[in-house]
Amino acid sequence: MGIVLLGPPGSGKGTQGARLSERLGVRHLSTGELLRAEVDAGTDRGRRVAGYLDRGELVPDDVILAALRPALAEARAAGGYVLDGFPRTRAQAERLPADDLAVQLDLPDDVARERLAGRDEGRSDDTDPDVIDRRLRVYHADAGALLALYRDRGRLVTVDAARPPDEVEAAIDAAVAAAD
């Protein structure tokens, strides 16, 4: 089973990804966490990634795929995964199995800005209003084609992510159950 969580920054992909993977007994793969671990470790890839994150830009596909590929293969072999932070573009989605279910966490930009500005995780990509706006613009520039791919495959469900986390969780569970 493969589930991808899609949504703008601040929509709860990390929170809901962790919760959903635990309930399903599959691995939660967060490209953000994988990439931040590379940055924290000071690897060559991490130094390259840091610049993109600080500017609120997407990390190039080749860099993300190099970090994600081993973890994704391991998760597939173990029975499935919940991905958050990937795919962000149609080209990335086309590299995943066509039967993955995409759950769109729909969130208005004003709510995303409030959530991101209120984070206290020490992430430089979440504290600067200009970077937040850039991240939202980047998301919206690629979201249409990405969502269209999953919609065309009949593998897209949308959940209102502006609700409290427990309500979002229940809506995701219902959507996943209905998609099986």
Domain interval for residue 154: 2-179
**Helix residue spans in 80-128 (DSSP H):** 90-93, 109-117
Top pLDDT among 7 and 88 is at 7
Rounded mean pLDDT of 137-156?
Answer: 95
Which CATH number covers residue 121? 3.40.50.300
Residue 107 gets which letter from DSSP? -
Beta bridge partners of 156: 102
> For residue 124, is pLDDT > 70?
no
> For residue 174, is pLDDT > 90?
yes
> For residue 21, is pLDDT > 80?
yes
User: Is there a contact between 10 and 107 (Cβ–Cβ < 8 Å)?
Assistant: yes
Top pLDDT among 8 and 54 is at 8
For residue 123, what pLDDT is reported?
56
Q: Rounded CA gap, 157 and 168, in Å?
A: 13
List the one residue out of 1, 180, 177 whose CA is nearest residue 80. 1
> For residue 103, is pLDDT > 90?
yes
For residue 121, what pLDDT is reported?
59
Task: Give the β-pairing of 101-106 and 81-84.
Answer: unpaired
For residue 31, what pLDDT is reported?
86
Q: Name the pLDDT band for 24 (thresholds 50, 70, 90).
A: very high
The structural domain count of the chain equals 1
Q: Is 8 helix (H, G, I), strand (E, B) or coil?
A: coil
> What is the layout of strands, in order, in the sheet containing 27-30?
27-30, 81-84, 2-6, 101-106, 156-160
What pLDDT digit, counting tens, does each position of 26-71 carry? 999 988 888 888 899 999 999 999 988 888 787 888 888 888 888 8
What pLDDT digit, counting tens, does each position of 68-82 carry? 888 899 999 999 999
